[in-house]
Amino acid sequence: MAAIRLTQRRVDTLRPRKTVRTVRDAELKGYGVRITPSGGKRYFIHSQHQGHRVWKIVGDAAVMTEAEARTRARSMLAALRDDRYIEADMSGDALFETVAEEVFTRYGRRWKPRTLAVNRRYLSNQILPFFAGRPIAEIDREEVQRWFRSLHATPAAANRSAPILSVIMQRAEAWGYRPDGGNPCKGIRRYRQKRSERFLSPEEYRRLGVVLDRHEARQPFRVAALRLLLLTGCRKSEIVTLEWRFYRDGRLYLADSKTGPRTVWLCNAAREVLDGLPRSSRFVFPIGGWTTPWSWLDAFWIQIRAEAGLEDVRLHDTRHSFASMALSSGETIRTVGRLLGHDNAATTLKYAHLSDATVRETVEALAPLLSGAPS
C-alpha cells in the first residue's frame, strides 16, 4: 500500500484505477485518502481501538482541503487514543441504510425485476432493523454474527439475507465506504435446512389429469398453464409471462428466463396445449387483476391440488417431478439440466455439447409418462 506525504497538490494529481486505490500518509500514521474507480476521493483514518479495527471517513476531498482533512484526522486519532467517542455525523461516516440504498440503486440494475423486489423485501424486513443507524465502516464480523444469530427462528430468511448483506459490504468497500479486505460476511456459516422434496407418482399425475379435465371447459387458460408446467418442467414465472412470439418451430424461445436465454423443447402433447388456445393477446395466458403475475396460478393450483388430494404438493414440485421422471426414464443429468434450463458453471460446457436431437427425443419420451395430465 503506497505511503507518501500527502499535500493538496498530490491529492489533486492522484488518478483513479480500475479498483479502489488507497494512499496512506507517510507522516501522520493512520491517515490517508482513497480514490474510487469513478474518481471520488475521501480522506480517512485507520487505527486500532480496544482490540478492534477502526476505519472512519474524515471527509470528501471535493469539499475539504488536504490541510483541513489533516487537522481533522489528527483530532479524530487523538480522540481514539483518549477513549473519546467520535460521533458518526462528525466524522462524515456513511450510515448503513444510505449505502444500502446506493447499492440497490446502482448495483441493483444487474438484478432481474423480481429478484430486485425480493431482495428489497429481505433488506427491509431482515437487514435494516438490525443495522440501520450504524456507520457502515464500523460494522465488523462479530456484529454480523450477532445479526445472523438473531434470525435463528427463520433460518431460510437468514440464509437468503446473508448474500444480500455481503453484496452491500462488497460494494461499500469498492466505493470507498469501508477499508480494503473488510467484508465481515466472509465465512458466515449458513443454517442447515431440512430439504423436503416431493415427487409426483404416475398415479398422482393421473389424478391431476382427471381434475384438470373437469375444469377445462370453464377455465381453459388456467388448465393449459398447469398442463404446460407438468409437460415442460418450466418455472412458473416462465409460463405466466409467456408471449406468443416466443413460441415457434415447436419450441419456446425464452429470452429472459431466470438463467438467461434458453430454448424449451416441447413434446407433442405440450404443442397441442398451446395450439388449442386462442391468440387474443400477445400473452399466451392473458389473466389480469392479481397482485403479482403468478398469483392467479398459485390460487388455481391450491384449488386443483385439494381436489386431487395432493395438499402437500407445491407448484414448484411439478418441476422437481419432471426432472425425477426424466432421470428415472434413463436420461442423463446433463440432458435433464438442459431441459430445465439449469445454469451450473461446472456443467455449462457439457450442456453446450449436447445435441438438439437428444433434447427433443427426451421431451417426446416423457410425454407418455405424463399421460395422466392432458387428455
- Sorted by where each begins, the domain ranges of the chain are 2-91, 96-174, 202-369
Task: Assign 288 a pLDDT band (cuts: 50, 70, 90).
Answer: confident
Span 5-33, average pLDDT? 92
pLDDT of residue 194: 67
Task: Assign 230 a pLDDT band (cuts: 50, 70, 90).
Answer: confident
Span 357-368, average pLDDT? 57
The C-alpha cell of 310 is what? Answer: 395432493
Q: Which amino acid is at 108?
A: G
Q: Which amino acid is at 30?
A: G
Tell which residue, 364, 205, 336, has the closest CA to residue 269: 364
Q: At the fourth CATH level, which superfamily is domain 202-369?
A: Intergrase catalytic core (1.10.443.10)
Please, what CATH class does the domain formed by 2-91 belong to?
alpha beta
Instruction: Put the strands of the sheet holding 251-257 in their side by side order.
Output: 247-248, 251-257, 260-265
Average pLDDT over the chain, rounded to whole? 81
pLDDT of residue 167: 95
Q: How far apart are CA 63 and CA 229, in angstroms?
A: 58
pTM: 0.53
Task: Assign 300 a pLDDT band (cuts: 50, 70, 90).
Answer: very high
- Non-local (6+) Cβ contacts of 351 within 8 A are 334, 337, 338
CB half-sphere exposure, 136, CA atoms < 13 A: 30
pLDDT of residue 333: 43
